[in-house]
Amino acid sequence: MSRTTVDNNLKSRVCFFLLLAISYGLFVGASGAYAQTVEELEAAIGRYEQEIERLKQEQEKLGQSIAGTQEEARTLQNEINSINGKIKYMNNQIYLTNVNINKTGAEIGNVSDEIITTQGKIEHQKSAIGELLMEIYKQDKESLLVAVMKNANISDFLNRIQQTADVGEGLLNLVSDLKETRNAYENHKDILESKKQELEFLNRQQTSQKLSLSGTQKSKNDLLKTTKGQEAEYQKLLTEAEELEREVNLQIFKLEDELRRTIDPNSLPLARHGVLERPAEGIVSQPYGCVETRFARRYYPDCNNRKGGFHNGLDIAARYGTPLRAAENGRVIAVGNAPYAYGVWAAVEHDNGLVTVYTHMSVRNVSVGQQVNRGDAIGSMGSTGLSTGSHIHFMVYAPKTFTTKESKISGTLPIGATLDPADYL
- CB neighbour list of residue 284: distance below 8 Å, 6 or more residues apart: 314, 315, 316, 317
Q: Is 84 exposed, middle or buried (0-12, 13-18, 19+ CB in 10 A)?
A: middle
Residues 107 and 241 in one domain: no
Residues 260 and 326 in one domain: yes
Half-sphere exposure of 89 (CA within 13 A, CB side): 26
What's the rounded Cα separation, in Å, for the pair 238 and 233?
A: 9
- CB neighbour list of residue 363: distance below 8 Å, 6 or more residues apart: 90, 93, 205, 208, 209, 212, 321, 344, 379, 380, 382
Residues 297 and 380 in one domain: yes
Q: How far is CA 315 from CA 211, 282, 289, in A?
A: 25, 10, 11
Residue 313 lies in a domain: yes
What pLDDT does residue 146 have? 52
Residues 257 and 163 in one domain: no
Q: Angle at Cα 102 formed by Cα 98 and Cα 104, nearest 5°? A: 115
Residues 279 and 130 in one domain: no
Per DSSP, the three-state class of 93 is: helix
* pTM to 2 decimal places: 0.70
Residues 177 and 257 in one domain: no
Residues 97 and 123 in one domain: yes
- CB neighbour list of residue 313: distance below 8 Å, 6 or more residues apart: 288, 357, 359, 393, 394, 395, 396, 418, 421
Phi/psi at 388 (5° precision): -95, 0
Domain boundary among 217, 249, 274: 217
- Closest by CA to 303, choosing from 288, 292, 314, 287, is 292
Residues 14 and 155 in one domain: yes
Residues 286 and 187 in one domain: no
Domain region containing 21: 3-217
Residues 246 and 391 in one domain: yes
Residues 92 and 123 in one domain: yes
**Which CATH number do you get for residue 341?**
2.70.70.10
Residue 224 lies in a domain: no
What pLDDT does residue 232 have? 86
Residues 177 and 295 in one domain: no
What pLDDT does residue 71 have? 64
Identify the helix (H) or strand (E) that includes residue 136.
helix 76-141
Is-contact 23 175, C-beta < 8 A?
Answer: no
Residue 222 lies in a domain: no
For 294-344, how does the pLDDT look when each residue is reduced to its tens digit (9 = 90+)?
A: 888 888 888 889 899 999 999 999 999 999 999 999 999 999 999 888 999
For 217-259, how does the pLDDT look when each residue is reduced to its tens digit (9 = 90+)?
A: 888 888 888 888 888 888 888 788 878 877 888 888 888 888 8
Number of independent structural domains in the chain: 2
Residue 306 lies in a domain: yes
